[in-house]
Amino acid sequence: MLTTTVSSHAGAVSKAKNDYVTLTTISMRDSTGISGLADTDTIPRSHWGDARSAPTRPRRSAAELAELRKPGTLAPDLRTGVPGVRGATDFKPVRDPVTHAECKNYFLNVPSPAPGYWYKNRFNACHGTTLLSEHFVVRNGRPTKVGAALVDVTFIVSMQENARTAAVSVNLTNWRFIETYPTTNAWTFGANCWDIDASGPSCDPSTVSRSDTPGAWQADGDHGATVTIPTTGVVQPESHGDEQRQHYDFNVYFYLPSSPGANTFYDGPNAIGRCDQARTAVSPNYARASDCVFHQQAGIFTLDASDGAVRESALLIRDAQNNVAATKPGTPGTWIPGKLGTPYPLHRLYYDTVGRDNNRSAAIAKCVEHFGPNYTQRNDPNEPTATNDCDEYPFSATYQGVQMTINAGGNRSYAVRPVHSAQNQNAGNQLGQYLADDHILEEDAYYVNVIN
């Protein structure tokens, strides 16, 4: 600990105008370079505090609301590895919550600029920062910095399985005091949950909060609760069957209520979640896991090329993403979307059954064109009864399927190839399970990642 002198009586006098504290934030990574009071002048601030004592519910325009409702606007952050991916078909992301230790490790190591939130998967988000409070006294009419306190903060929102609830929690660790700082003043944490449209309702409870001294936070640095997200929110204007899509803000803040300073409130970034009734009103085979998801985060479907049950399908996708010429039609100068690490995900096509059927029919026609009418014949003496299916990528149940790609024109393309029928069907089953387990709804974005 960096303490040289900790004032036990400063809390009583800090309410005077000649003795006050401020609150700002710096990145966790930058905070590791602070070893003395002078260092606090050289570290860039991530956020300057303001004079509020509670967060202000944003009032957004129709255009702003429409932008927040768009799915898949956030690509997976690959700077510290591929998040939340497993090859096993029984892996369920909703059962893989982010921990405070994982969150802190991410924000300590992620290169600048750190995002507002790290999404471990589409159900779990966390925010990490270091709070910096500086203690000033006024001497001869001029404020003089006499001390500081730092603490690492992680804030987590986890959507709950088979429910319309979210667990919110905060963790304060690694308190550091420099020279003279008032330790008897309270530090207040709060988290709000409300409809992104200001005319909509709040969650229950609308605010989770705790106010305690640094000593009390050091003794128990955790606080959290489960909030219930109402079904009476503002429904997304675009029709998506009976899904009843609604969108909610999760907002974290910190406040130093015992100081008269004008910079004592930190309003953290918002995590935007979408809740719906797809699991119950449409079908659990369409969507499951949770009734709420971080829809702006694109999903990741993983296929393992070393798995003999899906190998030929996985290799088609790998070739399509990395070597178009190895596929058919394989037109030079074209590209195929859905590769992890690019800005071009796939988007699920569910309700337009005619569109899906047209994509599939076009794929079969292309297999006949490039491989002949007998492409289904495998002629494998080791498996004399085995046959081929026409496999396509992007999948027919996407807006990037074969017929829709042909209709769109341009240099975006697709790939077809005869593959082992059982392997094609196994890959399709894995895809269907993934889409439901990751709560990928109509028009939601996801990438396809072929491993091994």
> How much of the chain, in percent, has pLDDT values that exceed 90?
73
pLDDT in tens, 137-186: 888 888 889 999 999 999 999 999 999 999 999 999 999 999 999 999 89
Residue 221: name the closest of 153, 149, 134, 126 by CA. 153
Q: Which residues contact 434 (CB under 8 A, 6 or more apart)?
A: 89, 299, 301, 302, 440
Cβ distance 252 to 415 under 8 Å? no
> Tokens 């790939």, residue?
415
Is the confidence at residue 213, as pLDDT, over 80? yes
Element (H, E) at 305: none
Q: Strand, helix or coil at 37?
A: helix
Other beta carbons less than 10 A from residue 142's beta carbon: 8
Q: What is the average pLDDT value for the chain, to the nearest integer?
A: 89
Place of tokens 């074209």: 334
Residue 303's beta-bridge partner residues? 450
Instruction: State the Cα–Cα distance between residues 93 and 188, nearest whole angstrom.
Output: 32
What's the CA gap between 89 and 25, in Å, rounded? Answer: 41
CB-CB contact of 254 with 55 (8 Å):
no
3-class DSSP assignment, residue 228: strand
Distance between CA atoms of residues 22 and 8, nearest Å: 18
Confidence of residue 4 (pLDDT cuts 50, 70, 90): very low
Judged against a pLDDT cut of 80, whether residue 52 lies above it is answered with no
**Mean pLDDT value of segment 121-147:** 91
Residue 191, strand partner residues: 208, 252
Give the per-residue pLDDT at 112. 78
Q: Residue 111's pLDDT is what?
A: 82
DSSP secondary structure string, 397-413? TBTTSHHHHHHH-TTB-
Contacts of 199 (CB under 8 A, 6+ apart): 234
Query: Which residue shows structure tokens 């082992």?
Result: 420
What pairs with residue 126 in β-bridges? 118, 156
Query: What is the predicted pLDDT for the residue at 14?
Result: 39
Map tokens 């899509």 to a residue.
245
Following CA atoms 312, 318, 322, 323 in sequence, which dihedral angle do they give, to the nearest 10 degrees?
10
% the chain with pLDDT above 70? 93
- What's the pLDDT tens digit per position in 239-251? 787 999 999 999 9
Between β-strands 187-195 and 222-228, what pairing exists: parallel, antiparallel or unpaired?
unpaired
pLDDT of residue 5: 34
Q: List Cα–Cα distances, 393 to 45, 332, 422, in angstroms.
A: 46, 17, 17
pLDDT for the residue numbered 224? 94
Query: What one-character DSSP code corresponds to residue 339?
Result: B
